[in-house]
């Protein structure tokens, strides 16, 4: 290859690299790829109107799953108190959404300091717990009249297609290993990462007089690791 051909090849390669880089940068900017923290948005008015991503922890009790559009608040993940960013979200709510889940939202902050978003993802920690000593669904059904309102641990298998976004009366349903019987689960928190149809879960909570298990915690069985 002569010197002129080599220079032409180098030039073409440089153009390709620059073009690909520009494409990635433009895509990143268009979908708000530059993720900001809550405090960063609240403290810098120059972000008003700029389409960005913001990441924060959902403030417990700040949301209503039946509201449309959905409204809630987030804080920086390392803060349990302090400034919170108000969110107005128009879009499908992930089934993993809940109290203290990390929400990653794309949108823009308006003149009133409210972040208007049309895209949300969630990050949930992986939580595992031993099912040893936990009641099975059959045990729960057999003892229901005697343990209404009492804290217990329950283990079961997630019924296919039963996982729902938070806000409804039933978040998901679990069954005994054989598939029967079943019990509906009410839960407002974040579901553990990796929880899907058929997963064995370990729940803390209590069964109410209507036969619904009100969960205060949800973990994957350590057999799922």
Which secondary-structure segment (H or E) carries 20? Answer: helix 3-30
pTM of the model: 0.69
User: Which two three-digit tokens encode residue 43?
Assistant: 């403290």
| Distance separating alpha carbons of residues 92 and 127, to the nearest angstrom | 25
The secondary structure of residue 92, as a DSSP letter, is P
1 pLDDT tier (thresholds 50, 70, 90): low
Domains, the chain, ranges and CATH? Answer: 31-123 (2.40.50.140), 128-224 (2.40.50.140)
More confident position, 16 or 149 = 149
Query: What are the φ/ψ torsions at residue 157 (nearest 5 degrees)?
Result: -115, 130
Burial class of residue 209 (count of CB atoms within 10 Å of its CB; 0-12, 13-18, 19+)? exposed
Go through 3-34 and write b for each residue having 16 or more CB atoms within 10 A of its CB, e for each that does not. eeeeeeeeeeeeeeeeeeeeeeeeeeeeebee
145-198, pLDDT tens digit by residue?
999 999 999 999 999 999 998 888 899 999 999 999 999 999 988 898 889 999
């Amino acid at each position: 290859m002569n010197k002129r051909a080599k220079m032409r090849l180098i030039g073409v390669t440089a153009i390709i690299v620059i073009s690909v880089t520009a494409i990635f940068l433009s895509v990143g900017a268009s979908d708000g790829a530059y993720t900001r923290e809550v405090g960063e948005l609240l403290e810098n008015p120059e972000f008003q109107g700029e389409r960005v991503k913001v990441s924060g922890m959902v403030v417990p009790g700040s949301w209503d799953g039946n509201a449309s559009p959905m409204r809630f608040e987030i804080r920086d993940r390392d803060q349990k108190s302090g400034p919170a960013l108000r969110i107005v979200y128009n879009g499908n709510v992930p089934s993993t959404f809940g109290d203290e889940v990390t929400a990653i939202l794309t949108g823009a902050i308006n003149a009133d300091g409210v972040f208007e978003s049309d895209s949300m993802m969630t990050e949930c920690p992986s939580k595992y717990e031993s099912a040893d000593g936990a009641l099975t669904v059959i045990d729960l059904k057999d003892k229901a009249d005697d343990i209404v309102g009492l804290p217990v641990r329950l283990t079961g298998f997630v019924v296919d297609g039963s996982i729902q976004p938070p806000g409804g009366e039933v978040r998901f349903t679990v069954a005994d290993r054989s598939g029967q019987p079943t019990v509906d689960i009410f839960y407002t928190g974040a579901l553990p990462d990796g929880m899907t149809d058929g997963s064995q879960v370990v729940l803390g909570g209590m069964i109410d007089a209507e036969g619904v298990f009100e969960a205060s915690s949800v973990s994957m069985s350590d057999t799922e690791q």
